Amino acid sequence: MRVVFVVLLSMAFPVALSVAGPIYYGYMNGPYWRVLIWAAVCTIGAVWFYRQSFTAAFSDADYSTAVKLVNVIAIVLVIGLCFLAGDLAIYFLVRSISN
């Protein structure tokens, strides 16, 4: 149970940062392509924020470099798609409420 709590707390900052952009752009009726860029920037920020976790997770593994690279790319894609889905949902919700 503590592991889940620590994981949720570690995601609080990147998720809060990710939510701020779609709320602003939705309220100001900005174009949705800005939310796409915002999700990409938040993904890069989250990967940078978790860089030590990537290093620790893959430094002692017995996998080849190619497998490690594919795993990192898969994790980054999942993070990016989650940010994108959440950001677009919040953007369209705030945009519909603000009009």
pLDDT one-digit tens code per residue, 4-60: 777 777 788 888 889 999 999 999 998 989 999 999 999 998 888 888 877 777 777
Question: H or E segment at 50?
Answer: none
Domain residue extents for the chain: 2-98
pTM: 0.81
Query: Residue 4, Cβ neighbours under 10 Å: how many?
Result: 8
Distance in angstroms (rounded) separating the CA atoms of residues 21 and 46 = 15
User: Is residue 83 within 8 Å of 43, Cβ to Cβ?
Assistant: yes
Q: CA-CA distances (angstroms) from residue 81 to 49, 56, 88?
A: 17, 24, 10
| CA neighbor of 88 nearest in space, from 43, 28, 21, 41 | 21
